Structure 1
């Protein structure tokens, strides 16, 4: 008995040290500049959020925070960069679709997205807005659903939120339209503005200024709630399709091997940055709803949406090289 007591006394300091070590390690992080690799071009919501919180994070972390854009392949180029990072100072900024949609579409990647990356937090939620060129005379969602299959719709690219939202809607309504993919929501919006394409589901922050001045007509919103900035535009669910919800999120992801204590520190610091009045106001101006949820909540939502979008991809028979 005495021998056991002596052993426990010797082990207790070691056990305490082992318990304290991860916390101390996290407090010491970062020890060098932090890279935020944005998966889409400058001016897209994730890129803009990263640049908004960049100064606050630099102050909190005492190290430079570098935002670097690496667009391509629906976010997979940036995802590969972060997944293969050799240190704990590289993070990925991009839509949740990198983990919820891309794994269903890209079967030949050299790495497994959902194994190599994990959610740290969700910055903000955003909707796709169904917008049409006014000359197309599509003045309501009901008129949109009557379009013949020969009509075109624009998206920000195959497998992107705008494309997947429309695929979900086509499956829900039984409609058939011809898809015209672009390299991002900006070019898609420009061709709808020019009248080359009648309509498109495009991220609301990109098309909002054009809707507000009448250059585009908003017909419906993809998520569960109306836009605070355009309260007269109904959701798809309110337009005759209860339960329809294509809500998306701008997220922060980390390599799966990043220690949990560091991930939790990053989540707390990002949440504090998002909570500042100036940033909250700027997000609202872009029609983004702040989230800042915990890592556990982000991972749970990611798993749920992975299953949802997998069903859409399978139904639409979507697969990319």
Structure 2
């Protein structure tokens, strides 16, 4: 009977342990993949996840399950991503709001930079500054003048504290040196209804929501947050064209994984997502949904974007005195 000394046995076991992860990566993916969305079905991050998930299934020949984990302004879903095994089978959608939450709430159940691995920024989203169709406010200049003359008399709505509409409104007030009262609703749909019902004076609404209502005569557009005019609203000026400088905010949505994901899998995800986001069919579908596919970039570049956003919003939260409650 052949025997093996202790040193040789430990060496063989070590080699086996090293070989197993490498083999698992070479065989990746060999089971369903989960994309966690921190918002309810039908929200922009959910729609983006489903568009990308559909293409991932085609690319990798494995089921892709979109799992909605709403709650706590998106923290519940992202916490689930951060605490998942870093094996490439669980990723999540991260968006602008997540870079504001640490400063707004003081703490989150995860560390945004330490516990998450950026894979790719996927899309940019633009908003339209709108007022009810019957509002006396007819331009951005008019809104700023009225808000400047009567601090806190005008109101702006949002889908909740820390939501993109809230952040855009706060940044707009900060940039223009005005004060408008923020009125948070329970969600984006409720905030739009509040605007239509005259409960608030203005709001930053996503293009997918604003464009149909503008065309239907229910809302009046004042400006768009995009760098150039939108094809869907060619007569509506940009914020910059309206005379407001220094307001370069745009929403973004990307994919992150748990920290510790092996570099080979980070690279595989990055390359696959870049290939998906350059497909014309995907670009067209996102454009129809009010999104613009982001140009493919490196995970490091996405990490830099997240870091710069954390820094920007931390300063704005302090200077504007934003509070979670």
TM-score of the superposition, structure 2-length normalised?
A: 0.86
Displacement after TM superposition at 1:67 (Å): 0.5
Which segments of 5 or more consecutive residues in structure 2 lack a partner in the other structure? 1-17
Q: How does 1:90-109 map to 2 (within 5 A)?
A: 90-98=90-98, 100-109=99-108
Distance 1:87 1:308, change over 3 A: closer
Q: How does 1:228-243 map to 2 (within 5 A)?
A: 228-243=231-246
Could you tell which deviates more after superposition, 45-54 or 218-227? Answer: 218-227
Aligned to 1:5: none
Q: Is the 8 A contact 2:86 2:257 kept in 1?
A: no
Q: Within the alignment, does 1:152 sit opposite 2:155 as a pair?
A: yes
Q: How does 1:165-204 map to 2 (within 5 A)?
A: 165-204=168-207
In 1, the alpha carbon distance for the partners of 2:26 and 2:104 equals 39
Aligned to 1:303: 307
In 2, the alpha carbon distance for the partners of 1:74 and 1:308 equals 19
In 2, the alpha carbon distance for the partners of 1:191 and 1:97 equals 22
Equivalent position to 1:313, from 297, 313, 317: 317
Distance 1:139 1:256, change over 3 A: same
In 1, the alpha carbon distance for the partners of 2:230 and 2:266 equals 32
Distance 1:277 1:24, change over 3 A: farther
Give runs of ≥4 in structure 1 deviating > 3 Å.
20-27
Equivalent position to 2:212, from 205, 209, 222: 209
Aligned to 2:13: none
Q: Is the 8 A contact 1:125 1:289 kept in 2?
A: yes
Which segments of 5 or more consecutive residues in structure 1 lack a partner in the other structure? 1-17
In 2, the alpha carbon distance for the partners of 1:191 and 1:299 equals 36
TM-score of the superposition, structure 1-length normalised?
A: 0.87
Displacement after TM superposition at 1:138 (Å): 1.6
CA-to-aligned-CA distance 1:99-118 (integer Å, 9 cap, x gap): x2122112243322221113
In 1, the alpha carbon distance for the partners of 2:324 and 2:181 equals 18
Q: How does 1:1-321 map to 2 (within 5 A)?
A: 25-88=24-87, 89-98=89-98, 100-145=99-144, 146-147=146-147, 148=150, 149-291=152-294, 292-320=296-324
In 1, the alpha carbon distance for the partners of 2:298 and 2:21 equals 19
For these two proteins, the number of residue pairs brought into alignment is 304
Structure 1 residue matching 2:166: 3-state secondary structure: helix
Q: Is the 8 A contact 2:85 2:258 kept in 1?
A: no
